[in-house]
A and B are shown apart, each in its own frame.
Chain A
């Protein structure tokens, strides 16, 4: 592809060097922002093919470019739509999908106006 730079190491004039593995292996490989209210919709994303609305505050995201294994890290977040703030969690990682991204408020699954996730790991 045009515009390719081949380098194993990046060196700063004073701060030192890192290998480019930090970038290749450490950068986010998939993310999405969805509106969980009404008929849910994806606002923006990278490397996501679809989302399944599996119930109140319960979503399954499917990737376009699969991960190499089921061992990768998913981080989720949500907008706080009520004063009693809740939490998010992701239950099951598969190489092609992350299932059970859940949003909670007031100790109950809740559809929130903004639910996000991002994933780091190695792609297949």
Chain B
């Protein structure tokens, strides 16, 4: 299906179009990351409707738009977004592969201090894996960590 020319269309309207016209895509990819050493590992799960948008192309804004909004929100005097138009008026990104979509989602939804330095330290702070590689039970869920046996060079290889 051809994506309509959405530049200038409110992002919410695009998402409604996608929900009506695209088939949701359940990704098997998961992103495990440690936001804080005092907390258990978090597991990022892509939304199936969002993934359909990413694979389709022409719907989602470039990821830098979200970074600009995050900068605005980080200001101490932040009350309301004044640059929301960036979401709607910036040229949407082209169709992505599933792997590119996961990279986009990491840069959008994982804290920057994690993904920008995921490979600095004795063990990685973030790992992309398949759903079936995660524990199948929730036992000791609040103590889950990325294994210390995994080295950064293992992942880079």
Contact = CB atoms under 8 A, between A and B. Distances in A.
Given A38-B136, A39-B30, A53-B43, A65 B4 contact: no
Contacts of A29: 12
A47 B15 contact: yes
A66 B61 CA distance: 12
B150 interface: no
Given A50-B47, A55-B141, A95 B73 contact: yes
A41 interface: yes
A54 B39 CA distance: 9
Interface residues of B, number: 44
Nearest to A97: B109
Contacts of A65: 10-12, 15, 87
B47 A48 contact: yes
A68 to B, nearest CB: 5
Interface string A46-77: 11111111111000101011101110000000
B34 to A, nearest CB: 11
A27 B153 CA distance: 49
B45 A50 contact: yes
B88 to A, nearest CB: 9
Contact of B84 (A49, A60, A68, A70): A68
Given A1-B4, A66-B69, A56 B141 contact: yes
B23 to A, nearest CB: 12
A49 B131 CA distance: 17
Interface of B: 4, 9-13, 15-16, 19, 24, 26, 30, 39-40, 42-50, 53, 60, 66, 69-70, 73, 79-81, 84, 87, 105, 108-109, 131, 134, 136-138, 141-142
27 contacts: A38-B136, A39-B43, A40-B45, A41-B45, A45-B48, A49-B46, A49-B105, A49-B108, A50-B108, A52-B42, A52-B43, A52-B44, A53-B42, A54-B39, A55-B39, A55-B141, A55-B142, A60-B42, A64-B15, A64-B53, A65-B15, A66-B69, A68-B81, A69-B80, A94-B73, A123-B12, A123-B84
Interface of A: 1, 29, 32, 37-42, 44-56, 60, 62, 64-66, 68-70, 94-97, 111, 123-124
